[in-house]
Chains A and B, each alone.
Chain A
Amino acid sequence: MMHFPSRRTVIGAASAVTLLALTACGNVAGGSSDSSKYPNGPISLTVGQAAGGSTDLIARAISEGASKTLGAPMPVVNKPGANGALATKEVAGKPADGQNLLLVTASLITITPLAVTADEAVNIDDLDIIAGLSQDDYVLVASKASGFNSIKDLTGAGRNITFGTTGVGTGSQLAQTVLFKQAGVKGTDVPFDSGKPALTAVLGNQVEVSTIQLGEAMPQIKAGKVAPLLVFSEERNSFLPDVPTAKESGYDVPVAQYRAVAAPKGTPKDVKDKLLAAIQETFKSDSYKEFNKKNMLTPKEISGEEVVTQWKDYAAKYKALVEKYDISLSGTK
């Protein structure tokens, strides 16, 4: 008789663990096609970047606001890989019922195709863009030891300069390679995995300059540990008003990171409208505005159609630029 209760305790404990694991998986139930019932259960918002980065933070801010309006939870699912191509291809292949959304970055559409083979590239026409979100500017920063305090110091240095990028096929890499070519400066492209290590490398003078996103660089700029040389946006950034743009300095290389919410192609119009309304409601909230400010993001709350035209224009421009200067982003020069 002694054996019975003990064995049951064990099986009970084991199934408790199993249950715990089950609840952790947060599986999404398959949705029905009846869009009047939308949302039908949790809406997953997939992010092609790891947790903790700026793209992920934006997704979480959007999910927090929109889930309230939609009355359904909106878990953020991180599926990093290939600059976000993996996540994009996955979401594009899901049923077009609005239950699976994607936070898509412009660089994946406009820049990454310049670095990878055609069948690995992502096409914006595979997605329905719901809404544009914000603009995240790139800033060129120099290490203290480099002695560069303005872009003139860099172009006049007359030597080979090592520059850190946030990876192959990113805006950081494109902006710097084009800038160096236009300025006629010799440089070595050193790719890092993301913005953080690229910034750390400048702090430790492992590379002389790096181009990273403003939100990441700002604390070190304010602390005076790195010098901002220029921003790559078309207009000056309101968070860094004293730093010139590349355009003002005479270089034609407008690069910024833009982000948008997307759904699989063919999502019903009323579902898209509901989503757009919920996202716009989020834009209006104070907490979201505060979030943008805190992360140095400039709101660029444009319609899905505008996103598609603008991103396609940028893609064409970048393609022309790399062809003109005979640049290969994949390091095999």
Chain B
Amino acid sequence: MDFLNPVINGFAVVLEPSNLLYCLIGVVIGMLIGVLPGLGPAATIAILLPLTYNVEPVTAIIMLAGIFYGAQYGGTITSVLLRLPGEASSVVTVFDGYQMAKQGKAGTALGLASIGSFIGGTASIIGLTFLAPVVASFALDFGPAEYSALALLGILLVATISNGAKTKALIAAAVGLLLATVGRDIFTGESRFTFGNLELADGIDFVPIAMGIFGLGEILYNLEERHRAAKAPSKVTNVWPSRTDLKQASGAIARGSVLGFFLGILPGGGATIASMASYAMEKKRAKQPERFGKGAPEGVAGPETANNAAATSSFIPLLTLGIPANATMALMFGALLIQGVTPGPQLVEQDPELFWGVVNSMYIGNILLLIMSLPLVGIFVKILRVRAAILAPVTALITLLGAYTINNSMFDVTLVVVFGIVGYLMKKFGFEPGPLVLAFVLGSLLESSLRRSLLVFGGDPTGFFTRPISATLLIVFVLVAVLPGIRSMLAKGTTAPSEQPITTKIKEKV
């Protein structure tokens, strides 16, 4: 078990008291912002990113892991208490979670969700621990050609598997690609779309875009929803689920872990699909399916386990291939880049301490979440009672302040405001912001890798098919692009799939 040595060394780093403290702060602040209605993990990370700038890379990443898990759980709290899912992946939690809350069992629902999240997340981290070295062994075979194919596949998957309308997703992705071309051409030194502005010579920074579109855009959009779905209960008691509840939910947690792990590896919103699949599975397996929608504990435990397992396993493509699978991962990608860490096949080899530091900080983040979420639920409930008129300006101020601290630059603040308006308009007109941000991240990777490969191949594009990994990836690309068309041709006349009602509900809520 030689490869376990760096894993254990990674733990030594993570368990340093100061790192634990940062993780704790991350979890608490992550929950604090994540619990604000409408702000999911992506928005929370975007808003809080500047907090991690001036800390050591490993510590910063540990804090980010804490923020990530805190934000993830924050969405669950609002789902259960307010019937307001913080993000698409906790939509199904609403069905039974809110019913449980109405029956006075809000504490039980939240407790089950956090225990389930912990188990699901941990299962995925263990999977990541064993899978990463396998992918890393191919690291050196990943050249420009492989990265071009991977980026191409990533953009396609992101644009096609997202929740909204496909055409709109493709339009958003195209805008993202266009934004990625701004700045000095790294092959010729030529300025592109900079309009003589030296601030743009380096291209548009990812962070202001993310903070604008996810942070400010979400805040603005939420202001439109003047009505509150429900009033938060002033007190949440009995956070520890009873033995019978646990027994009832244990099967759902186990199945959710496995389901979430595998669905999370797929690019394009793995956590959402995982939570829905888990809910459907539990309902099908149950002896009395009519209990679902009326406060069945499995209906909360299963999806919450699955979405956390999936959210965690979506770190696998990010950390091993350098390809973010969804918008939240794109933000983590940006956060790691700021810390001077380029996620990719080489990371495990070149910087084992950092890699395992990242992975192990997730264990710690999960454990801290379990410890902190139960006692703190009462405090977060109180936050939900604050009027939006007070909360929204405070959050917006924090966002703009954070944007300024990136480079002490007003230009960045302007960018955040501009992209905040863009994000707001996108949401209003039904465009998913995810494809734009992901295409922006993958766009520069695609362009530089493609041009680099063509230089290496002497300008001959058939070179992509002479290398096994890039050829395989391109074949998968063609399959993914063509398959939906073929399938819809074959399925002509058959009825719509059963998950249809759930997807429409998501569109309404998110």
Contacts and interface: CB of A to CB of B under 8 A. Distances in A.
Interface stretch (B48-56, B124-132, B274-282): B48-56
Contact of A27 (B382, B408, B455): B408
Contacts of A7: 385-386, 390
B446 to A, nearest CB: 14
A3 B408 CA distance: 38
B143 A204 contact: yes
Contact of A10 (B184, B186, B382, B448): B382
A193 B186 contact: yes
Interface in B396-425: 397-398, 401-402, 404-405, 407-408
Interface string A39-55: 00000000000111100
A82 B140 contact: no
A132 interface: no
B60 to A, nearest CB: 11
Contact of A80 (B32, B202, B390, B394): B202
Contacts of B189: 115-116, 168-169, 329-330
Given A22-B401, A330-B190, A190 B51 contact: no
Contact of B184 (A25, A27, A82, A160): A82
Given A10-B386, A80-B202, A200-B140, A25 B405 contact: yes
B102 to A, nearest CB: 21
Given A3-B385, A26-B54, A81 B398 contact: no
Contacts of B458: 160, 188
A10 B390 CA distance: 10
A115 B50 CA distance: 34
Residue with the greatest number of chain B CB neighbours at <10 A, chosen from A11, A17, A169: A17
Contacts of A280: none
Contacts of A188: 455-456, 458
Contacts of B199: 86
B456 A162 contact: yes
Nearest to B205: A81
B201 A21 contact: no
A157 interface: no
A207 interface: yes
Given A10-B383, A206-B143, A189 B201 contact: no
A224 to B, nearest CB: 15
A189 B458 CA distance: 11
B452 A192 contact: yes
A190 B188 contact: no
Interface string A1-35: 01100110111011001101110111100000000
A266 interface: no
Contacts of B405: 21, 24-25
B480 interface: no
Given A7-B386, A81-B202, A89-B198, A331 B404 contact: no
Given A190-B455, A332-B188, A25 B408 contact: yes
Main secondary structure of the interface of B (DSSP, over half): helix
A157 B422 CA distance: 55
A20 B456 contact: no
Interface string A200-239: 1101101100000000000000000000000000000000
Contacts of B452: 190-192
A243 B50 CA distance: 45
Contacts of B141: 204
A171 interface: no
B456 A2 contact: no
Contact of A21 (B346, B350, B402): B402
Interface string A75-102: 0010111100110010000000000000
A305 interface: no
Contacts of A331: 187-188
Given A168-B188, A203-B140, A50 B455 contact: no
A120 B191 contact: yes
Given A22-B401, A190-B455, A200-B346, A17 B29 contact: yes
A195 interface: no
B379 interface: yes
- Give chain A's interface residue range (CB within 8 Å of chain B): 35 or more
A320 to B, nearest CB: 20
B11 interface: no
Given A81-B202, A162-B456, A24 B53 contact: yes
Contacts of A89: 198
A207 B340 contact: no
Interface in A123-169: 160, 162, 167-169
Nearest to A28: B408
A206 B50 CA distance: 36
Contacts of B456: 162, 188, 190, 206-207
Given A85-B201, A190-B455, A204-B143, A21 B398 contact: yes
A188 B144 CA distance: 15
B187 A191 contact: yes
A244 B385 CA distance: 73
Given A82-B201, A204-B141, A21 B188 contact: no
B488 interface: no
Residue with the greatest number of chain A CB neighbours at <10 A, chosen from B144, B188, B390: B188
A66 to B, nearest CB: 19
B142 interface: yes
B186 A167 contact: yes
A86 B183 CA distance: 12
A119 B402 CA distance: 32
Nearest to B351: A52
Interface in B198-223: 198-199, 201-202
Contact of B50 (A21, A82, A116, A203): A21
A7 B387 CA distance: 9
B202 A82 contact: yes
B382 A9 contact: yes
B390 to A, nearest CB: 8
Nearest to B444: A193
A150 to B, nearest CB: 24
B160 interface: no
A57 to B, nearest CB: 11
Contacts of A167: 186
Contacts of B386: 6-7, 10
Contacts of A6: 382, 385-386
A21 B340 contact: no
A18 B397 contact: yes
19 contacts: A2-B234, A6-B382, A6-B386, A7-B385, A10-B383, A13-B383, A14-B394, A17-B29, A17-B32, A24-B53, A24-B54, A50-B340, A52-B57, A79-B407, A82-B198, A120-B191, A193-B186, A193-B448, A207-B456
Given A17-B398, A21-B405, 16 more contacts: A18-B394, A18-B398, A24-B50, A25-B408, A77-B408, A79-B407, A80-B202, A81-B202, A85-B201, A120-B191, A120-B201, A168-B186, A188-B456, A193-B448, A200-B346, A206-B143
